[in-house]
Amino acid sequence: MEKRMENSSGRAVTREPCIIGDDKRRIQLVHDYLVSRSDVDAISDVLPGDAPRELVEAVTANCALDHVGCLIFPSELNAVRAYLQEQGLRPRKPFTGSVVRDRLAARYGVQDERLKAGCLDVQIIHGELSGDSSRGIEVLCVDPDDELTASALRNERIGQHENHVAVRITDPGRVEELRSILARPGGPHPDGGGYNPAQGEGGATVLRFRAAGFTAMGWPRRLEIIVSGRHTEVLLRHLGQTAPGGDSGEETDRRLLRRLTGAWGTQAIRAMVDLDLPDHLAERPLTPKELADRTGVDADRLNRLLRALCHPWIGALAPAGEAFALTALGRRLTRTAPNSMRHLAQMYGGLFYESFGKLADGIRDDAQPFVAVFGQPPFEYFRDHPQQGRLFTRAMAEGAFFPDVAAAVDLTGARTVADIGGGNGELLAHLCDAYPDLKGALLDRPEVIGTARDNLQAHGHLNRCTLHAGSFTDSRDLPAADVYVVSRILHDWDDQTCVSILRAIRDAASGDSTLLIIERPLSDDPEDASVSSLWDLNMLVNNVGGRERTREQYRRLLEEAGFLVVAERPLRLDISVIIARPAA
């Protein structure tokens, strides 16, 4: 972008410095936006309109507003610098915007060989606010003749895809924590990013997020998190949640490789649990030799597993000198961890791992993968194989969301809560913990009732609960209650059975009873970061007729059974409580 430059055909061209009126207007708009808003206002404007308050607070507490940015198409950089000075800004020295370049290249199909030849050069100029060097505007500059078609230029001008609010994280050590918070339900969607070695001393890692809707100025809601230095593993985790097209080249290959080797990580975690490594490491780090002595396995082979468990793609262990220590993830696999997920690891790495090998057959031939592998539908198999049945019941009880249900829904006025299909009673036990005066009831298959009795006894709540063996499609088997809970049950069944379950509850319920449906609703957006679509695939493989459903589909099922949806409360892990009451 110099006054004398070569076009794509290699011929030298000369033109006067130029910045058109539309580009001036874009710069003026981001400048006015920046000076008229506080950090909290600007950050809130680019986050989802219904973002949880704690999410907004996490960003504002750990970040400072760095800049507001826009993309323009000037023929000469000096004209941009001059205009910034006219506006009372102090322009810094331009630097190459490699992350933006890769994003534009992916969006418009510019080939890698063209990029390597120097095409699609993106230059970034920061203009500091007078009297406040910590904040400013960012102008992304692309030559209008540089490898983008006329339609691409028009699309960028109309869509304003690169307009964004950028914040700089104040403590680089908390970047992964902040990324994880933003990726939770109710937060924005990951939207690419990268490492730019030219951005500041030591370069900078950029994580981009987007949310539905538009800002007060009519721009797409886009948030950019900037952290000084290279944070490769954080970036990889972020890109792993980004929709395709957000990056290119080696990062794409690395993300694909991570997916292809995911089975190895699943089996490594299962082996970790089968060898009781989390419990051996619960008190202190141990060396491979010490762990080998405790588990009775070969130290060299065990060391190879331990090293793999340290890999950031797994992250269950961390090196501690010559020893190995549990990470926060690894501690979730100990027997004593609250809502331990060790049985989930054994289930997903065992039976469900085998059945997923028949996924393609289930799509192509209309076969049921679990039945094809094990010869029976899941619940019949678990009935005839008690050991696996107990594992399944325990795995399904390892819901990290259980403690949240009592906080999400106020049961203060309720006298009795009935958990329909309540498994081993873990959720009911949490509700009894939270409400000391609440009476409990649990309905499930006869072979499960014994496990529920033992678990409720262990929690000290058996004297407050009644246990009912029966069918949840027969209202005569259902206990009377003020509140009915159906947790992760409806997704196991086809629509007709779901309506039968709900109608049985409606027949047993009084006119002022409350029904709580706990499920993982499918998003209407296929690119949503929720894991619901993956669980829907799991239902296709490991169930007969089961599926995850959208909120609208649940609403229709409830209405057909005589209920009206009155509210919804989000829980962790993309799960929600849908609150319904009997229709008049």
CATH number at residue 181: 3.10.180.10
Tell me the pLDDT tens digit for each residue of 410-420. 999 899 999 99
Expressed as residue numbers, the domain containing 130 is 21-239
* Residue 30: pLDDT band with limits 50, 70, 90: very high
- The reply to whether 5 falls in a domain is no
pLDDT at 301: 96
- Structural tokens at position 310: 């340290």
Instruction: Indicate the pLDDT class of residue 18, thresholds 50, 70 and 90.
Output: low
Per the domain annotation, does 46 fall within a domain? Answer: yes
**151-155, 227-231, 245-249, 520-524 — which is least confidently predicted?**
245-249
Residue 108 amino acid letter: Y
Note whether residue 339 is domain-resident: no
Q: Tokens 């307009």 correspond to what residue?
A: 163
Residue 14 has pLDDT above 60, yes or no: no
Last residue of a domain, one of 172, 206, 239: 239
What pLDDT digit, counting tens, does each position of 137-161 carry?
999 998 877 666 666 777 788 888 8
Contact of 277 with 288, CB cutoff 8 Å:
no
Instruction: Indicate whether 95 pLDDT > 80.
Output: yes
Q: What is the pLDDT of residue 146?
A: 66
CA dist 400 and 382 (Å) reads: 23
Q: What is the pLDDT of residue 117?
A: 65
Rounded distance between C-alpha atoms, residue 160 and residue 75, angstroms: 19
Among candidate residues 239, 260, 284, the one where a domain is terminated: 239
Q: What is the mean pLDDT of residues 171-176?
A: 90
Catalytic residue at 231? no
Give the C-alpha separation, 156 to 154, whole Å.
5
Question: Which residue, of 178, 213, 239, is where some domain finishes?
Answer: 239
Domain harbouring 530, CATH code? 3.40.50.150
Q: Per-residue confidence at 366, pLDDT binned at 50, 70, 90? A: confident
pLDDT (average), residues 93-116: 79
Residue 329 lies in a domain: no
pLDDT for the residue 116: 64
Q: Average pLDDT, stretch 496-508?
A: 96
Q: What is the pLDDT of residue 134?
A: 83
In a domain, 351, yes or no: no
Of 282, 291, 294, 262, residue with least CA distance to 333: 282
Average pLDDT estimate for 276-294? 96
What is 119-164 written as a DSSP string?
-S-EEEEEEEETTEEEEEEEEEEE-TTSS--HHHHHHHHHH-TT-E
Q: Phi, psi (5° rounding) for residue 116?
A: -65, -25
- What pLDDT shows up at residue 460? 95
DSSP class of 320? E
Q: Residue 201: inside a domain, yes or no?
A: yes
Interval 458-477 mean pLDDT: 94
Beta-strand pair 483-487/514-519 = parallel
Mean pLDDT (the chain) is: 87
Burial of 22 (0-12, 13-18, 19+ CB in 10 A): exposed
- CA of residue 187 relative to chain centroid, distance: 9
- Residue 383 within any structural domain of the chain: no
The total of structural domains in the chain comes to 2
Whether the per-residue pLDDT at 24 is higher than 50: the answer is yes
Higher pLDDT, 340 or 499: 499
CB-based burial label for 496 (10 Å; 0-12, 13-18, 19+) = exposed
> pLDDT tens-digit profile of 288-297?
999 999 999 9
Asked if residue 252 has pLDDT above 70, the reply is no
Question: Which stretch of 54-63, 105-114, 163-172, 556-565 has the lowest confidence by average pLDDT?
Answer: 105-114
Listed range (242-256, 450-464, 501-515) with the worst mean pLDDT: 242-256
Whether 357 is in a domain gets the answer no
Q: What is the 3-state secondary structure (H, E, C) of 423-443?
A: CCCHHHHHHHHHCCCCEEEEE
The better pLDDT of the pair 404, 324 is held by: 324
Mean pLDDT to the nearest integer, 22-29: 91
The pLDDT-based confidence of 16 (bands split at 50, 70, 90) is: very low
Question: What is the percent of the chain with per-residue pLDDT over 90, rounded to a whole number?
Answer: 56
pTM summary value: 0.58
* 193, 235 contact by CB (below 8 A): yes
Catalytic residue among 31, 189, 231, 491: 491
